[in-house]
Structure 1
Amino acid sequence: MKKTTLLLSFLIVGSTLFAQEKETVINSIIEEIKQNSQVEQLAFELTDEIGPRLVGTPQMEKAHQWAVSKFSSWGIPAENQEYGTWRGWERGITHIDLISPRVKTLAGMQLAWSAPTPKKGITAEVITLPTTIADSSSFASWLSKVKGKFVLVSMPQKTGRPDYNWEEFATEASFEKMKEERSAQIDTWNSNIRNSGYSSRTLDAALEKAGAAGIIQSQWSRGFGANKIFGSRTKTIPTIDILLEDYGLLYRLAENGKKPQIRLLAESKELGEVPTLNTIATIKGTEKPEEYIVLSAHFDSWDGGSGATDNATGTVTMMEIARILKKLYPNPKRSIIVGLWGGEEQGLNGSRAFVEDNPAIVDNIQVVFNQDNGTGRVVSINGQGFLHSYDFLGRWLHEVPEEYKSEIETTFPGTPSGGGSDHSSFVAAGAPAFMMSSLNWSYWNYTWHTNLDTYDKIVFDDVKNNVALIAIMTYLASEDPQKTSREQAVLPISRWSGNQMEWPTPRDANRKGGLD
């Protein structure tokens, strides 16, 4: 009886001491964020100083070196791990001027991996595709007219105002009329392209082969001033994206027989085959060093803006968590890995390569926290199909102060993600990995892969909220005496196919890309 009482006393004292220690660590994390946050400075250095981080560019390499240096300055060992190669390319100046029938500097840029113009630029007429294409034969005949000309390949927008602007100010009848006319215009445009014998993906190459001077597109993002900026599909002639307003100007001039001319200067460099990297930083565990918590964010971006909300926000969140935990919790029970993945935008290549190359780590993951959808505070967590995800995520969330979790909606056990972001690479391998899904902040229209994805779009109060949330959950995951379960739920019937959903399977990383 005395031994039992003594043991019970020890357990009670131990539990009380841990509760006090836990409260101290959590409060210290929150105080550090409030008094000494580094996220603004990290974001400035990454987005304004280094800039966009397109895979294969010198800016991407510079970012990897910068991250290793930052981790090292905090006393965290870090390295850049090569997992493959990619086409090396460097963006230079893009300058576009309308010179006839009037003079105006146009807003636009060359696409990623675009061919440059000659050093003195190109001056040429701008033409539209045929208004009506009867069939592929008639289009083949028309192609002889494109030699030496810039070709407008995007549908001109009926309106440059987003739908929410129409909804606020237009009459209901006018708004509905606009949408009906736009829908008909889209159908007609798509049908016309199909009649050419090409698709929107193959048309540029046909125009290049026919001798066009360059390709002009405008991929509007349905927001004021926002265009999607992706990669060029031509090899020897430049491809540029022009903002909606100036694209519409060129289109109307050409359509009305005014034969607009532009002068384009587009500088870029081919750099051959260059390494692709992941930056990996590790705070070694003390009691269970062979079990891992992974703080996951993709490091690369498209290069229309500066990759601020996609995904500098996720990157600096995970880096800041590592800095804070190294300072306040330097001896975690489990090892904490920060994975800043390269090549996510081209197919999750960095994280897929890491999963392929590190089976021992993947087999012993306690949890992966991934962030990659904008600047907003976390409002949703999906259990990713892990049957007992409620048990451990719920246990950790319970300890998070209310102000950092009050808006979070959880779905348990949820369904596994087959793609979309880097947690999917781990989920496919059976590791408990979770997307910390953020509030929208007009992400899809205004910053996701657009020219407007810049530092000023970051909402730092929300980023700091996420640092607190994930840092506390990381601490609790490290301290948890229980290992997380990997048991998978029976997946539901797909509402799309009518068949039972299957768990995603691992996919190979592309370790040599962009060189075809």
Structure 2
Amino acid sequence: MNTKQTTTSFALLKRSTRVFFMAMLITGNISYAQSKKETVDKIVKEATENSQLENLAHELLDVVGPRLVGSPLMKQANDWAVAKYATWGITAKNEQWGEWRGWERGISHIDMVYPRIKSLEGTQLAWSPSTKGKAVVGELVIYPDLPDSVSFKSWLPSVKGKFVMFSMNQPTGRPDYNWQEFATPESFEKMKSNRTKQTDAWRSRISKTGLNLKALALAFESAGALGVVTSNWSSGFGVNKIFGANTTKIPSIDISLEDYGLLYRLTESGHKPKISVNVGSKELGMVPAFNTIAEIKGAEKPNEYVILSAHFDSWDGGTGATDNGTGTITMMEAIRILKKIYPNPKRTILVGHWGSEEQGLNGSRAFVEDHPEIVKNIQVVFNQDNGTGRVVNLGGQGFLNAYAYLGRWLSMVPEDIKKQIATTFPGTPGSGGSDFASFVAAGAPAFSLSSNSWSYGTYTWHTNRDTYDKVVFDDVRSNAILTAILAYMASEDPETTSKAKSVLPINVRTGEPGSWPQPVKATRKGGVN
């Protein structure tokens, strides 16, 4: 063979080899994509045809109920989750991160007994002292508009032996949207103007005491009041925010807008109404507080982590259905599906059910402090915590390259779910609000799966109406599918996620460049002064 023939043959061989490898690469990519799609299709099928969401919600919200940190029901929820995971073949454990003031709610009776008999809609606030097994009956008094703190101190002894009302009497129990629908424009504007004036006057009334609301409640207690009565209306029909008590010796009760208004008007008109309050609760001393952690061990990269995140605790005015029962069951359902469809993930998949989020992200902050070996090897954290709605927003939390890997993973999400999600990159790092912020502060790529509203802020966030019936299961099912697919893609991704941070914009208030949030230490011993 001559030189020209040799050169030609070599070129043909080289070209054939290149074509062969290109064909193999294309075939491999197609095969890889097909494999991914098959798994995604199985995830969707399992979530759609064998959903466990309704059952999980019933067991958690109806049977266990609200999950106030330090309460027996919180510990019952921790144990329930561990047992539930075991039925799916998933390892889970309760990991103590601190201790909290233990308190157990009891039976409450709140009734008007004069000038007529009426049972009142009311709630003993969390950690409120009890009435020690007996009814306490007394007249009501409204905190008056006094000129200054000196006048307040002179008036204060008059509360002895009485229940003190110190919330503003709302002028209407109709939410604004109801006024907009039916009122004349003039009537609506008149109501809003009067309400603003009344609100400003009430704030001025409080500020002239020189005390904040907590100190004011304690001042009434010290002066011998029988109890404090508030109404923390949430601007919707029949809904109040329910938080914790500020008193340490006398009961704190919240009464519905409708019944509070009745008592207020009767007191204001000189009819001297009396109420009977019998609230049972138990102080349990300091009790251990836990996170519940579930795990599917990674087969190839067991020391790298995909974390599904949702806080487990709640306030206890309702049953914590949308804050954060829905986030909890989303993550439980997602990992249940993954265990069935994808039992041998490349990376370890964890679910973190955090305690005491409501008092300052304490469970997740403690986990970050206690597990630096996990935090430094986090592939991603997905957190869900703002209600029952389908996910509609995903921001980059300030991570410079988040668009690249989140974009890859989202590409496999079904179009009917993906098209509803607005993305913002690189975004800015969240410094609070929910548990993803604990991880962001530590430099781990953590993201909030943010839901649409369903009137969350008014009707279910920390309210007496946050119950099972408010869950929209079609939306939660969509979120479980999304979460499972994102976790699967994150686990499979051959690349480790970038933790590079973007340069934050100038703070308009200070004129200085924005700074990354810093880790905050968990409160390890809570509910005590």
2:34 corresponds in structure 1 to 20
- Tell me, in whole angstroms, the C-alpha distance in 1 between the residues paired with 2:394 and 2:37: 24
Question: Of 34, 38, 52, which aligns to 2:48?
Answer: 34
2:524 corresponds in structure 1 to 511
Structure 1 residues 15-63: Cα deviation after superposition (integer angstroms, max 9, x where no partner): 2222221111100011111110000000110000000000000000000
| Post-superposition offset of 1:11 | 3.0
2:289 corresponds in structure 1 to 276
- Tell me, in whole angstroms, the C-alpha distance in 2 between the residues paired with 1:380 and 1:200: 36
- Tell me, in whole angstroms, the C-alpha distance in 2 between the residues paired with 1:432 and 1:88: 34
SS of the aligned residue for 1:91 comes to: strand
Question: Of 86, 94, 105, which aligns to 1:80?
Answer: 94
| Post-superposition offset of 1:373 | 0.1
Question: Of 227, 230, 236, which aligns to 2:240?
Answer: 227
Aligned CA distance change for structure 1 residues 377 and 496 (closer, same or farther; 3 Å):
farther
SS of the aligned residue for 2:100 comes to: strand
- Tell me, in whole angstroms, the C-alpha distance in 2 between the residues paired with 1:255 and 1:417: 46
Question: Of 103, 125, 128, which aligns to 2:139?
Answer: 125
User: Is 1:406–2:419 an aligned residue pair?
Assistant: yes
2:82 corresponds in structure 1 to 68
SS of the aligned residue for 1:155 comes to: coil
User: Is 1:180–2:193 an aligned residue pair?
Assistant: yes
Question: Of 317, 321, 325, which aligns to 2:334?
Answer: 321
Question: Of 55, 60, 67, which aligns to 1:53?
Answer: 67
Structure 1 residues 330-383: Cα deviation after superposition (integer angstroms, max 9, x where no partner): 000111000000010000000000000111111011110000000000000110
Structure 1 residues 373-432: Cα deviation after superposition (integer angstroms, max 9, x where no partner): 000000001100000010011111112110111111110000000000000000000000
| Post-superposition offset of 1:187 | 1.1
- Tell me, in whole angstroms, the C-alpha distance in 1 between the residues paired with 2:300 and 2:356: 34
- Tell me, in whole angstroms, the C-alpha distance in 2 between the residues paired with 1:500 and 1:142: 50
- Tell me, in whole angstroms, the C-alpha distance in 2 between the residues paired with 1:83 and 1:448: 25
Question: Of 107, 112, 115, which aligns to 1:98?
Answer: 112
User: Is 1:383–2:392 an aligned residue pair?
Assistant: no
| Post-superposition offset of 1:179 | 1.1
- Tell me, in whole angstroms, the C-alpha distance in 2 between the residues paired with 1:58 and 1:200: 29
1:211 corresponds in structure 2 to 224
Bigger Rg, structure 1 or 2: 2
User: Is 1:247–2:260 an aligned residue pair?
Assistant: yes
- Tell me, in whole angstroms, the C-alpha distance in 2 between the residues paired with 1:33 and 1:282: 20
- Tell me, in whole angstroms, the C-alpha distance in 1 between the residues paired with 2:323 and 2:256: 20
- Tell me, in whole angstroms, the C-alpha distance in 1 between the residues paired with 2:361 and 2:277: 34
- Tell me, in whole angstroms, the C-alpha distance in 2 between the residues paired with 1:217 and 1:402: 48
Report matched runs for 1:129-208 at 5 Å: 129-130=143-144, 132-208=145-221
User: Is 1:425–2:459 an aligned residue pair?
Assistant: no
2:485 corresponds in structure 1 to 472
The letter for the 2-side match of 1:81 is E
Structure 1 residues 457-509: Cα deviation after superposition (integer angstroms, max 9, x where no partner): 00000000001111111111111111111100011123444432110000000
Structure 1 residues 87-126: Cα deviation after superposition (integer angstroms, max 9, x where no partner): 0000001111101001110001100000001312101111
User: Is 1:397–2:400 an aligned residue pair?
Assistant: no
Question: Of 309, 321, 338, which aligns to 2:322?
Answer: 309
1:332 corresponds in structure 2 to 345
Q: Which 10-residue stretch deviates more, 186-195 or 235-244?
A: 186-195
Report matched runs for 1:493-508 at 5 Å: 493-508=506-521
The letter for the 1-side match of 2:92 is A
Q: Which 10-residue stretch deviates more, 486-495 or 238-247?
A: 486-495
1:441 corresponds in structure 2 to 454
2:121 corresponds in structure 1 to 107
Q: Which 10-residue stretch deviates more, 11-20 or 36-45?
A: 11-20
- Tell me, in whole angstroms, the C-alpha distance in 2 between the residues paired with 1:146 and 1:499: 50
The letter for the 2-side match of 1:57 is S
SS of the aligned residue for 2:278 comes to: strand
- Tell me, in whole angstroms, the C-alpha distance in 2 between the residues paired with 1:147 and 1:358: 52
The letter for the 2-side match of 1:97 is D
- Tell me, in whole angstroms, the C-alpha distance in 2 between the residues paired with 1:358 and 1:118: 43
The letter for the 2-side match of 1:281 is A
Aligned CA distance change for structure 1 residues 186 and 498 (closer, same or farther; 3 Å):
farther
- Tell me, in whole angstroms, the C-alpha distance in 1 between the residues paired with 2:17 and 2:349: 38
2:298 corresponds in structure 1 to 285
- Tell me, in whole angstroms, the C-alpha distance in 1 between the residues paired with 2:113 and 2:376: 62
- Tell me, in whole angstroms, the C-alpha distance in 1 between the residues paired with 2:183 and 2:23: 72
SS of the aligned residue for 2:170 comes to: coil
- Tell me, in whole angstroms, the C-alpha distance in 1 between the residues paired with 2:314 and 2:278: 24
1:487 corresponds in structure 2 to 500
- Tell me, in whole angstroms, the C-alpha distance in 2 between the residues paired with 1:230 and 1:214: 16
Q: How many residues align?
A: 515
The letter for the 2-side match of 1:105 is S
| Post-superposition offset of 1:515 | 2.0
Q: TM-score, normalised by structure 1?
A: 0.98
Report matched runs for 1:367-382 at 5 Å: 367-382=380-395
2:9 corresponds in structure 1 to none
2:6 corresponds in structure 1 to none
Consecutive unaligned residues of structure 1, counting only runs of 5 or more, are: none
- Tell me, in whole angstroms, the C-alpha distance in 2 between the residues paired with 1:168 and 1:230: 31
| Post-superposition offset of 1:3 | 5.6
- Tell me, in whole angstroms, the C-alpha distance in 2 between the residues paired with 1:119 and 1:51: 24
| Post-superposition offset of 1:204 | 0.2
- Tell me, in whole angstroms, the C-alpha distance in 2 between the residues paired with 1:85 and 1:264: 31
The letter for the 2-side match of 1:63 is A
The letter for the 1-side match of 2:131 is T
SS of the aligned residue for 1:223 comes to: coil
- Tell me, in whole angstroms, the C-alpha distance in 2 between the residues paired with 1:199 and 1:358: 38
Question: Of 341, 353, 358, which aligns to 2:371?
Answer: 358
SS of the aligned residue for 2:449 comes to: strand
- Tell me, in whole angstroms, the C-alpha distance in 2 between the residues paired with 1:462 and 1:496: 39
Q: Which 10-residue stretch deviates more, 495-504 or 160-169?
A: 495-504
SS of the aligned residue for 1:344 comes to: coil
Consecutive unaligned residues of structure 2, counting only runs of 5 or more, are: 1-13
Q: Which runs of 4+ in 1 moved over 6 A?
A: none
